[in-house]
């Protein structure tokens, strides 16, 4: 705590939300409010019907002024959606927004304990107590102000990149469009028709090129690659390699639109053994060039390489593409027999559904195969044989088509992977680029000033790619309009007197924010570039001298919540009810817990959640302190490996967890008391199930024997 904060009297106001019946229908809000009044430093507490409504926000603003509050706690829903709103109300009343704290008593209490009124009420009290304890240690923060250079870079000259570049340039900003190929267009160049409009792809491409040629603020760099990106938000230095000619650009914001590639199905369905076995893209090029003179029997096979065969995901656009091309074939060769062998047809939206109906009316046959017994394609003496088991008819069938078309998924291309590494942005488990938040920030990276659109984000059709491109352009333009922006104050900083100059932070940081410098007195220390730091806290959790901490997520703030979670040890004997502390990351596992609440997935009320921005911030000290502070078990949870919003910070989580398990084993503590779970924002049921399993396991073990926590010499 700063010296200034130590001198002031801590005056906390607590506002408990009924949220209609969402909270008040499942726990005693009035009792929780009265309890809040008894907590240290709380000078005012009230309950509101809807704290996020204007009367609730006015109550906060008025109370800050009337009761001279210098800390505010709101107990309601989740900080992931409403924290900015309440922070703004605090600022409007003259209170630094970082002196606000949230207690999540809806998504992670009332909604998940709907049939346990007394226990839900008790848990809500605990959550409020934890938040009040943390609020007392909060400090005002000053956000970093960055000048934004008003120029944008778009990487990738496909349909999404061209659209984004045009949108920015047409708003009057200097724009650079970089394409590695000698011409623009990307995958659009290899398409024949664009459905559902049934336009020729060449027409769309030429229109875009014409518009780009007329854009006065837009510079196109063809046959160009990104060699290096230095700097930070608003002040990037981008080095271009144009066939050996080097140029450096000053850039304010960057949009990544590197696209995707059609997977080449080498080793699948006899691909490569006959020129009559092609992919959908190769079929389109053949149709576009008039290659096919007489097609009588065409078999299309869906999900080639996807949905578990080579990649796990559904590529989304494959079915619509197959239907489109089947209709084109029927248009050119009305008598041709076209059959689509599928593992469920997935068409998104009413327009594509209408195409599906058109295809059926045109005589295209759809036959479902068992994904456990995929079709076989054999080539012998130039003749193609397709064998497949018709799942609905329960019959083995055989075809001898003159063309086999394989619908393969879109996959991330090497250029996209290289750009992701260069920009230090995360790739998901499917290797596509990972947005900051699937709903709240779908075209932003977690790193400020970087945005994404098109198929580098995942399989998408042209309409979706264009929509994403316009959204990304809008987000990229906003800071350039402002010219000066403020970024989150949640960054790491170094106590240079405690720093031993080991360089661990330099090795651990995913964003290259720390650097080792030599001071005037000759001491080598770490210093952190706050413009590069994203506040994951990975450096702080591993610093051997505790010289590094993160603003707004300091050690004492985390420890205060740990100590406040369970004031008393759990009871032994038949009345034993496990007490569990969960450390979660903001982006995934905390969001997964929220989703469990939104979905009303019920689980035991034995858990108290403490949120960090990243699981990489979870210091082993926090885990052992949780055990010392009456927790019978500890859950460490974060994003799946490969899905970390801080690139690979959760790799450090895994390494620390393994070390902690070895330590508690040496202490004689049962390994079931410490658990690691990778839980995404979409896995609410998994979060709930994890808690159910932990409670049952720990209940069998009984209370933790704290004597084992004493380290013997």
Residue 203 to residues 161, 188, 208, Cα–Cα distance (Å): 17, 10, 9
Alpha carbon distance 51, 27 (integer Å): 17
- Greater confidence, 505 or 574? 505
- pLDDT of 11 above 50: yes
**Beta strand 260-262 pairing with 277-279:** unpaired
Give the torsion sign (CA, 531, 535, 539, 544).
positive
Place of tokens 């900083």: 493
Omega of the bond prior to 196 within 30 degrees of 0, cis? Answer: yes
How confident is the model over 216-248, as pLDDT tens digits? Answer: 999 999 999 999 999 999 999 999 999 999 999
User: For domain 1-141, is the CATH number 3.30.530?
Assistant: no
User: For domain 553-705+709-713, is the CATH number 3.40.50?
Assistant: yes
pLDDT band at 6 (very low <50, low <70, confident <90, very high): low
Contact 99, 135 (CB under 8 A): yes
pLDDT at position 223, please?
97
- pLDDT of 713 above 50: no
- Give the single-character DSSP code of 330: H
What percent of the chain has a predicted confidence (pLDDT) above 90? 89
Cβ-count burial of 685 within 10 angstroms (0-12 exposed, 13-18 middle, 19+ buried)? middle
Q: Helix H segments across 617-683? A: 620-628, 649-667
Cβ-count burial of 214 within 10 angstroms (0-12 exposed, 13-18 middle, 19+ buried)? exposed
How far, rounded to the nearest angstrom, does the alpha carbon of residue 296 sit from its chain's CA centroid? Answer: 47
Which residues does 91 contact at the CB level (< 8 Å), separation at least 6? 97
pLDDT at position 686, please?
96
- pLDDT of 133 above 60: yes
Residues of the chain with CATH 3.50.50.60: 147-261+412-485, 268-408
Residues of the chain with CATH 3.30.70.20: 491-550
Contact 158, 466 (CB under 8 A): no
Residue 688 to residues 115, 439, 600, 601, 668, Cα–Cα distance (Å): 15, 21, 10, 6, 28
Length of the chain, in residues: 713
Which residues does 114 contact at the CB level (< 8 Å), separation at least 6? 26, 120, 600, 602
How confident is the model over 263-314, as pLDDT tens digits? Answer: 999 999 999 999 999 999 999 999 999 999 999 999 999 999 999 999 999 9
Alpha carbon distance 692, 425 (integer Å): 34
Give mean pLDDT, residues 95-114.
98
- pLDDT of 7 above 80: no
Per-residue exposure over 484-504, b if at least 16 CB sit within 10 Å of its own CB, e if not? ebebbbbbbbbeeeebebbeb
pLDDT at position 348, please?
82
Q: Tell me which residue of 438, 468, 448 sits closest to 456, measured CA to CA.
A: 468
Alpha carbon distance 557, 674 (integer Å): 22
- pLDDT of 532 above 80: yes
Per-residue exposure over 73-84, b if at least 16 CB sit within 10 Å of its own CB, e if not? bbbbbbbbebbe
CATH class of domain segment(s) 147-261+412-485: alpha beta
pLDDT at position 711, please?
55
- pLDDT of 198 above 90: no
Give the torsion sign (CA, 615, 620, 622, 623).
positive
Element (H, E) at 595: helix 589-598
255: β partners: 154, 451
Tokens of 156: 């990738």
Contact 534, 508 (CB under 8 A): no
Mean pLDDT of the chain: 94
How confident is the model over 308-334, as pLDDT tens digits? Answer: 999 999 999 999 999 999 999 999 999
Alpha carbon distance 232, 236 (integer Å): 5
Alpha carbon distance 113, 2 (integer Å): 39
Residues of the chain with CATH 3.40.50: 1-141, 553-705+709-713
Q: Tell me which residue of 230, 145, 236, 149 sits closest to 489, measured CA to CA.
A: 145
Per-residue exposure over 43-70, b if at least 16 CB sit within 10 Å of its own CB, e if not? bbbbbbeebbeeebbebbbebbeeeebb
- pLDDT of 366 above 50: yes
pLDDT band at 429 (very low <50, low <70, confident <90, very high): confident
CB atoms within 10 A of CB 665: 12
Q: What string of H, E and C letters represents the secondary structure of 401-449?
A: CCEEEECCCEEECHHHHHHHHHHCCCECCCCCECCCECCCECCECCCCC
- pLDDT of 712 above 70: no
Alpha carbon distance 651, 397 (integer Å): 49
pLDDT at position 436, please?
84
Place of tokens 């599906």: 356
pLDDT at position 248, please?
97
Classify domain 268-408 by CATH architecture.
3-Layer(bba) Sandwich (3.50)
Pick the CATH number of 491-550 from 3.30.70.20, 3.20.20.70, 3.40.50.300, 3.40.50.720: 3.30.70.20
- Greater confidence, 171 or 7? 171
What percent of the chain has a predicted confidence (pLDDT) above 70? 99
């Amino acid at each position: 705590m700063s010296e200034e904060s130590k001198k002031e009297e801590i005056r906390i106001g607590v506002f408990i939300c009924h949220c209609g019946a969402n909270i008040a229908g499942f726990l005693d809000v009035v009792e929780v409010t009265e309890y809040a009044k008894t907590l240290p430093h709380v000078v005012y507490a009230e309950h509101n019907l809807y704290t996020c409504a204007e009367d609730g926000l006015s109550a906060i603003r008025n109370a800050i002024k009337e009761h001279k509050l210098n800390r505010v706690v709101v107990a309601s829903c989740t900080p992931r959606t409403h924290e900015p709103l309440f922070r703004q109300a605090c600022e409007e009343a003259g209170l630094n927004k970082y002196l606000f704290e949230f207690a999540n008593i809806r998504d992670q209490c009332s909604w998940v304990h709907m049939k346990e009124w007394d226990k839900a009420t008790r848990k809500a009290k605990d959550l409020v107590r934890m938040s009040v304890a943390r609020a007392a240690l909060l400090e005002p923060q000053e956000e970093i102000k960055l000048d934004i250079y008003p120029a944008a870079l778009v990487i990738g000259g496909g349909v999404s990149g061209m659209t984004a570049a045009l949108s920015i340039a047409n708003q009057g900003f200097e724009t650079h469009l970089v394409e590695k190929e000698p011409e623009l267009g990307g995958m659009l160049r290899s398409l024949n028709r664009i459905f559902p409009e049934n336009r020729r792809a060449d027409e769309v491409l030429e229109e875009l090129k014409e518009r780009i040629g007329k854009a006065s603020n837009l510079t196109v760099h063809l046959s160009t690659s990104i060699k290096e990106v230095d700097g930070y938000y608003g002040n990037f230095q981008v080095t271009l390699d144009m066939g050996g000619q080097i140029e450096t650009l000053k850039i304010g914001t960057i949009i990544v639109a590197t696209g995707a590639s059609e997977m080449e199905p080498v080793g699948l369905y006899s691909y490569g053994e006959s020129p009559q076995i092609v992919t959908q893209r190769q079929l389109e090029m053949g149709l576009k060039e008039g290659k096919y003179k007489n097609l009588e029997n065409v078999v299309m096979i869906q999900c080639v390489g996807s949905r578990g065969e080579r990649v796990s995901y559904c590529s989304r656009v494959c079915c619509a593409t197959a239907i489109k091309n089947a209709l084109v074939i029927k248009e050119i060769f009305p008598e041709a027999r076209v059959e689509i062998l599928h593992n469920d047809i997935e068409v998104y939206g009413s327009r594509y559904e209408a195409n599906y109906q058109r295809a059926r009316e045109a005589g295209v046959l759809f036959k479902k195969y068992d994904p456990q017994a995929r079709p076989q394609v054999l080539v012998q003496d130039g003749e193609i044989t397709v064998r497949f088991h018709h799942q609905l008819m329960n019959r083995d069938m055989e075809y001898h088509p003159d063309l086999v078309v394989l619908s393969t998924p879109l996959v991330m291309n090497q250029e996209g992977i290289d750009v992701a590494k260069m920009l230090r942005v995360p790739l998901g488990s499917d290797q596509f680029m990972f947005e900051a938040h699937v709903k709240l920030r779908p075209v932003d990276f977690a790193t400020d000033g970087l945005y994404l659109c098109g198929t580098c984000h995942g399989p998408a059709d042209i309409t979706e790619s264009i929509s994403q491109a316009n959204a990304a352009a809008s987000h990229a333009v906003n800071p350039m309009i402002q010219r000066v922006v403020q970024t989150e104050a949640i960054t790491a900083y170094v106590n240079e007197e405690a720093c031993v100059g080991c360089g661990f932070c330099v090795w651990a940081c995913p964003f290259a924010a720390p650097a080792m410098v030599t001071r005037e007195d000759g001491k080598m220390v770490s210093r952190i570039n706050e413009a590069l730091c994203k506040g994951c806290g990975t450096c702080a959790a591993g610093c051997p001298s505790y010289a590094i901490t993160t603003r707004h997520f300091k050690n004492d703030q985390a420890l205060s919540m740990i100590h406040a979670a369970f004031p008393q040890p759990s009871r032994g004997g038949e009345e034993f009810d496990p007490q569990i502390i969960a450390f979660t990351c903001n982006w995934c596992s905390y969001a997964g817990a929220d989703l469990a609440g939104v979905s009303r997935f019920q689980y035991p009320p034995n858990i108290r959640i403490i949120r960090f921005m990243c699981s990489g911030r979870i210091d082993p000290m926090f885990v052992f302190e949780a055990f010392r502070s009456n927790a019978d078990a500890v859950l460490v949870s974060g994003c799946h490996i490969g899905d970390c919003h801080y690139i690979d910070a959760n790799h450090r989580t895994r390494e620390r967890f393994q070390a902690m398990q070895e330590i508690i084993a040496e202490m004689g503590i049962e390994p079931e008391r410490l658990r690691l779970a990778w839980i995404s924002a979409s896995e609410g049921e998994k979060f709930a199930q994890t808690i159910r399993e932990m409670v049952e396991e720990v209940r069998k073990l009984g209370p933790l024997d704290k004597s084992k926590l004493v380290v013997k010499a």
